[in-house]
Amino acid sequence: MESSFGLLLVLITLAFIHIVEAQDGKGFISLDCGLPEDQTSHKMTGTELLYSSDKDFVQSGKTGRVRENPNNYGETYLTLRYFPEGIRNCYNLSVEKGRKYLIRAYFVYGNYDGQDIKPVFDLYLGPNLWETIDLQRLVNGTATEILHIPTSKSLQICLVKTGNTTPAITALELRPMGKESYLIDTGSSLSLLFRRYYSASGFQLRSTDVYDRRWDRFFIKEWTNISTDLRVKIGNDYIPPQEALKNAATPTNTSAPLTIYWISTNSSDEFYVYAHVAEIKDLKEDEIREFNVLLNGKLYTSEPIIPKKLDLITLQSKTSRTCQLGLCSLQLTRTERSTLPPLLNALEVYTAIQFPQLETDESDVDTIKDISATYALSIINWQGDPCVPQQLRWDRLNCSIRDMYTPPRITSLNLSSSGLNGTIAAAIQSLTQLETLDLSNNNLTGGVPEFLGNMKSLSFINLSGNNLNGSIPQALQKKGLELFVEGNPRLCLSDSCRKPPEKKFHMAIVASVVSAAIVIAVLVLFLVLRKKKSKGINQPPRTSTEEVTFANKNRRRFTYSEVLQMTNNFQRVLGKGGFGLVYHGTVNGHEQVAVKVLSQSSTQGYKEFKAEVDLLLRVHHTNLVSLVGYCYEGDHLALIYEFLPNGDLKQHLSGKGGKSIINWSIRLRIALEAALGLEYLHIGCKPPMVHRDVKTANILLDENFKAKLADFGLSRAFQGGGESQNPTAVAGTFGYLDPEYYRTNRLAEKSDVYSFGIVLLEMITNQPVINQTTENSLITQWVGFQINRGDILEIMDPNLRKDYDINSAWRALELAMSCANPSSSKRPSMSQVIHELKECIVCENTGISKNRSLESQEMNVSLDASVVPMAR
């Protein structure tokens, strides 16, 4: 904790560089479409990049090979995949949401089918049209390239049939780009018009480009070339290849401007221009090169440009520009005092393209895929987005589409006569906007599930012509729901089954017999387990009568109907947790509870569930949310917790949902209480427990704003918890996750300390834990950057209105940074954290009048002296 922030920053930076490299190298995806089965990959000559077969990224299509190759294209462009079936066929690529990618697709016909019919078709990116590919016009083939930021974790690139010709694709490339390059308006993507370097001789550059971009050489006779053998320094994320920067064009007539023209085919096209300049001539004392940059006659930069000696400057516009009358020009004109003509090393021009249509609700998409997998459906047009574009909507479903800016929802599902067998899939209940469900004429077995009656929007169900048995649950016999079940010979429809009182009676007996048996079994198991456990391990002393009371009275197993009753049929949603929705409930008529409903797929089985719940039932501490009971009945899983009326800390930091903003001294107290809860898990519990998902959303507040940690122990036994972005890492939430965990794949107590450090930083700064739009995207990087600038006021949450003791703020910040140290061995233990937080609180309480309301300037002065926090 004594280390200076400067050193910390270096460490953090190094650690993150390491992670990025370890994770995915360059992260390139290179697909040679239609590569034969026996040849899984090959290296492209020149770039030496490995191209693999596309078969794992697309489910349809056939492979072909060109018969005519007049242009002598290389091996990568000789095989292709064509799609004779279906209207839309899609590639599905895993991407990092929010990252900028260069995406390039190649199309060469080469008479692969001997028919000599060149195709014309549309290329879509998700639900949006990217480009029309017209190989009747571009007979020798074409490549199209965009810079795009994916809005979800998978990228769908689709070929859509628009006429009688068969769509085909030759190669597909994905290249992640540097974060601070090609800044564009949100919602736009960039389509490459040209990318050139200016040299009197040379070839297309590609293999030396770190992002695998292609740079064409360009030169005209009105220009003179200059060149250098020296290296040009690059201080930005654009990183053009050295060869592109070591040459430049200047006008031969030294008083004339240097002008680049291009044609705009559509006067509403908007352009983004990136010009790369570096001084590569050895200037004499009295020489000066200075010029203005004009785009279509208007100044492009506010000040004249003086290229820096062997040091790259990239000129970029913050907004797009259109060209009048279809002719666009970029003009470099020397200023009065300039003794040398202007120079240009390289230039990139893009047109903006809009992809406004949002994809279908992600949860609906996951669910429909889940259903498709459950019943092993293979429906040819179930590819790409289920709902949009509307003309390509998946067969057998319908959607509600409000506007382009609202994700569409699935409202009807018709799997009539689809050869379904097995039971009615539980996943269906996750289609929360479903209105019509037709599963008629299949071979479905099992009972009619109760959840169908609990789906709020569902108003029509046809289950006719199946093999269902049992009786119709009460929940489905309600007004406003049309249910058709004829043609299920084993389904009991007689009045005796239907009559509510009688049915209830039967149900009640069955239920009580079953649950009594379970309660006894659970109790026995519980006692046996406890006995076993308490033998060798030091447990806090507790009498066995107490345990029995726990198992019996306060904490226990609930039946599903009790859960329905306590939540009043799931009337009030409190929020959405990592594992499912959380509802408000009441037990014993007055005691408020929070009921967390888990989806069945979130646990591995009853045994694991039970083991985990038993463990959680044992844990109790004033700063931990206590488990009141649980429900495990067939498909229904729920955990019942004590209810905390003041919501979570995250809401109070953001002020969302009408929550109050809490002040600094309460924040410190909350931090201390959360730390006490965590310390108890680490050293007070036997065996010790790692929380695994410490975050502000998991710190709940009771009526007196006392903090209690929630959700501990869950992510171990239940899958799909947290908002993990990495499908293989189930535990934790992106942004709070210990970076060391990526390398070691082991979560230990120190991982919780890291997450706690992030929580502290959030409480201090109220900055997002991850901000995809800036360079310093992680909160630790952001704080490190601000500390380097000596910007204490910028660091503290503005909502605190400077109402804090400066020393206590610094101490807390220092503590947070040491908790978030990339190296786990350098992080303090929770006990040390508690000690330090107590000191902060003392500091806050005693220092109030002394340091408060200092002018910002004074603070900056003290910081400028040394970028290290002031002595305590």
Alpha-carbon distance of 523 to 844, in angstroms, equals 49
Residue 38, both tokens? 């026996």
Nearer of residues 253 and 823 to ligand NAG, judged by Cβ? 253
Please provide the size of the chain in residues: 872
Give Cα 275 distance to the centre of its chain.
32
Residues β-bridged to residue 276: 314, 346
Distance CA 820, CA 751 (A): 9
Whole-angstrom Cα distance, residue 702 to residue 652? 13
Q: Does 586 bind ligand NAG (CB under 6 A)?
A: no
Name the minimum Å distance from CB 247 to ligand NAG: 8
Beta strands in 243-366 (DSSP E): 247-251, 258-263, 270-277, 291-295, 298-299, 313-316, 321-322, 327-334, 346-354
Nearest approach, Cβ of 156 to ligand NAG (angstroms)? 7
**Do the Cβ atoms of 292 and 370 come closer than 8 Å?**
no
Q: What is the CA radius of gyration of the chain?
A: 32
CA angle 403, 409, 415 (to 5 degrees): 135
User: Please, what is the minimum distance in Å from the beta carbon of residue 724 to ligand NAG?
Assistant: 13
Answer whether 132's CB lies under 8 Å from 48's CB: no
| Tokens matching residue 140 | 């020798």
In this complex, which beta carbon is closest to ligand NAG, that of residue 92 or of residue 771?
92
Q: Is 140 in the site for ligand NAG (CB under 6 A)?
A: yes
Q: Which of 71, 339, 496, 544 binds ligand NAG (CB under 6 A)?
A: 71
Q: Residue 366 Cβ, how far from ligand NAG at the closest point, in Å?
A: 7
User: Residue 589: what residue type?
Assistant: G
Considering the complex, what minimum distance in angstroms separates the CB of residue 445 from ligand NAG?
Answer: 7
Footprint (CB under 6 A) of ligand NAG, residues 363-422: 369, 398, 414, 416, 419, 421-422
Least distance from ligand NAG to the Cβ atom of residue 72, Å: 8
Residue selected from 34, 86, 465, 739 as contacting ligand NAG according to rule CB under 6 A: 465
In the complex, minimum distance from the CB of residue 266 to ligand NAG, in angstroms, rounded to a whole number: 4
Helix (H, G, I), strand (E, B) or coil at 215: strand
Give me the residue label for tokens 């917790």: 641
Count residues binding ligand NAG (CB under 6 A).
34
Write each residue from 479 to 518 as x if it is in contact with ligand NAG (CB under 6 A), else as -, in one continuous string.
-----x----------------------------------
Q: Which of 256, 283, 524, 611 binds ligand NAG (CB under 6 A)?
A: 256
**How far is it, in rounded angstroms, from Cα 164 to Cα 372?**
29
**Using CA of residue 163, residue 164, residue 165, residue 168, what is the dihedral sign?**
positive
- Separation CA 54–CA 40 (nearest Å): 9
Window contacting ligand NAG (CB under 6 A); options: 220-228, 556-564, 700-708, 746-754: 220-228
Which is nearer to ligand NAG, 354 or 512 (by Cβ)?
354
Among 139, 521, 842, 865, binds ligand NAG (CB under 6 A): 139
Only one of the segments 4-12, 458-466, 625-633, 647-655 lies at the binding site for ligand NAG (rule: CB under 6 A); that segment is 458-466
Least distance (Å) between residue 748 CB and ligand NAG? 29
Kindly state whether residue 719 participates in binding ligand NAG, applying the rule CB under 6 A: no
Query: Which tokens hold the place of 307?
Result: 């290229």
Task: Examine residue 464 and tell whether it contacts ligand NAG (CB under 6 A).
Answer: yes
Q: What minimum distance in Å lies between the beta carbon of 411 and ligand NAG? A: 7
Instruction: Cite the beta strand spans of 168-281 per DSSP E.
Output: 168-169, 171-176, 188-198, 216-218, 223-227, 247-251, 258-263, 270-277
Choose, by CB under 6 A, the member of 45, 266, 457, 788 that binds ligand NAG: 266
| Under rule CB under 6 A, residue 74 binds ligand NAG | no
Nearer to ligand NAG, 225 or 832 (CB): 225
Can you state the angle between helices 806-819 and 749-765, rounded to 10 degrees?
150
3-state secondary structure 827-849: CCCHHHHHHHHHHHHHHHHHCHH
Instruction: Give 294 or 661: the residue with its C-beta nearer to ligand NAG.
Output: 294
Q: What is the C-alpha separation between 430 and 597, in angstroms, rounded?
A: 12
CA distances from 389 to 363, 444, 726 (A): 18, 32, 28
| 24 assigned to active site | no
Smallest gap from Cβ 226 to ligand NAG, in A, equals 5
User: What end-to-end distance do the CA atoms of the chain give, in Å?
Assistant: 13
Q: Are 840 and 668 in contact (CB under 8 A)?
A: yes
109 versus 712: smaller Cβ distance to ligand NAG: 109
Q: Any idea what DSSP says for residue 361?
A: -
CB of 253 or CB of 406, closer to ligand NAG: 253
Nearest residue (CB) to ligand NAG, 226 versus 671:
226
Nearer to ligand NAG, 270 or 805 (CB): 270
Nearer to ligand NAG, 236 or 320 (CB): 320
Q: Identify which range of 295-303, 462-470, 659-667, 747-755 contacts ligand NAG by CB under 6 A.
A: 462-470
Rounded Cα distance, 627 and 184, in Å: 49
Calculate the dihedral angle through the C-alpha atoms of 222, 228, 234, 240, rounding to the nearest 10 degrees: 50
Q: Is the Cβ of residue 629 or residue 722 nearer to ligand NAG in the bound state? A: 722
Read off the amino acid at residue 447: G
**Token output for 596:** 């967390």
Specify the residue, 443 or 846, whose C-beta has the smaller distance to ligand NAG: 443
Window of 307-315, 435-443, 552-560, 651-659 that interacts with ligand NAG by CB under 6 A? 435-443
* Catalytic option among 122, 269, 361, 693: 693
**Stretch (H or E) spanning 484:** strand 482-484
Q: Is 255 in the site for ligand NAG (CB under 6 A)?
A: yes
Q: Does the protein bind ligand NAG through residue 200 (CB under 6 A)?
A: yes
Tell which one of 2, 163, 186, 201 touches ligand NAG (CB under 6 A). 201
Binding mask 224-253 for ligand NAG (x = CB under 6 A): -xxx-------------------------x
The Cα–Cα gap between 620 and 626 comes to 6
Q: Does 132 bind ligand NAG (CB under 6 A)?
A: no
Shortest Å, Cβ 250 to ligand NAG: 9
Site string (663-692) toward ligand NAG, x via CB under 6 A: ------------------------------
CA distance 870 to 414: 68
What sign does the CA torsion over 660, 665, 668, 669 have? negative
Instruction: For residue 596, say whether it is annotated as part of any ligand binding site.
Output: yes
Q: By CB under 6 A, is residue 436 in contact with ligand NAG?
A: yes
β-pairing, 443-444 vs 421-422, is parallel
Give the Cα separation of 193 and 217 in Å (integer): 14
Neighbours of 418 (CB within 10 A): 15
Scanning 432-440, 674-682, 731-739, 844-852 for contacts with ligand NAG by CB under 6 A, the matching segment is: 432-440
Q: Interface residues for ligand NAG in 620-649 (CB under 6 A)?
A: none
Instruction: Determine the Cα–Cα distance for residues 659 and 651; give it in Å rounded to an integer.
Output: 6
DSSP state of 571: -
| CA separation for the pair 338, 356 (Å, rounded) | 46
Q: Work out how close the CB of 389 gets to ligand NAG at its nearest, in angstroms, rounded to a whole number.
A: 14
| Residue from 338, 440, 599, 818 binding ligand NAG (CB under 6 A) | 440
Q: Which of 13, 60, 69, 92 binds ligand NAG (CB under 6 A)?
A: 92
CA atoms within 13 A on the CB side of 327: 5
| Residues that are catalytic | 693
Residues in binding site for ATP: 596
Residues in binding site: 596
Residues engaged in binding ligand NAG (CB under 6 A): 70-71, 92, 94, 139-140, 154, 200-201, 225-227, 253, 255-256, 266, 268, 369, 398, 414, 416, 419, 421-422, 436, 438, 440-443, 462, 464-465, 484
